[in-house]
């Protein structure tokens, strides 16, 4: 029998690399689904020390952080930038390619 690794465990290991985390978040953004992006951002935060550590580092209450990143959450742009910074990822606008 081949050894296996749980998907969540693989994802957490993969997302520890800031470049991989950035690609993952960009894919979620390109999907155009706000909920998908918030879930992806939560996964990146989990991979970078978890909600408690990021909440302390960003000075956002942990419960507020969970609410922000829930499917119904609506975090402000500054909060998203702050969370990305603490996850080792930046934000950059790029020109869209025309079809």
For 57-77, what is each residue's pLDDT tens digit?
Answer: 989 999 999 999 987 889 999
Residue 98 resides in a domain: no
> Which domain covers residue 71, as residue numbers?
7-86
Flag whether 99 is in a domain: no
Query: What's the rounded Cα separation, in Å, for the pair 36 and 46?
Result: 15
Average pLDDT, integer, range 29-46: 91
Does 95 map to a domain? no
User: Quick check: is 37 in a domain?
Assistant: yes
pTM of structure? 0.85
pLDDT exceeds cutoff 70 at 37: yes
pLDDT at residue 99 tops 70: no
Q: Is the pLDDT of residue 24 over 70?
A: yes
CA distance 46 to 38: 12
Grade residue 33 by pLDDT with cuts at 50, 70 and 90. confident
Domain count, the chain: 1
* Residues 72/96, Cβ–Cβ less than 8 Å: no
Asked, for residue 62, whether it belongs to a domain, the answer is yes
3-state DSSP call for residue 96? coil
Residue 2 lies in a domain: no
- Residue 21 within a domain: yes
Phi, psi of 17 (to 5 degrees): -80, 120
Residue 97 lies in a domain: no
């Amino acid at each position: 029998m081949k050894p296996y690794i749980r998907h969540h465990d693989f994802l957490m290991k993969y997302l520890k690399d800031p470049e991989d985390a950035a690609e993952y978040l960009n894919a979620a953004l390109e999907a155009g689904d706000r909920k998908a992006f918030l879930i992806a951002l939560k996964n990146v935060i989990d991979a970078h020390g978890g909600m408690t550590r990021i909440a302390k580092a960003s000075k956002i209450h942990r419960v507020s952080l969970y609410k922000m990143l829930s499917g119904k959450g609506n975090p402000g742009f500054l909060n998203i930038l702050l969370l990305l910074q603490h996850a080792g990822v930046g934000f950059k606008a790029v020109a869209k390619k025309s079809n």
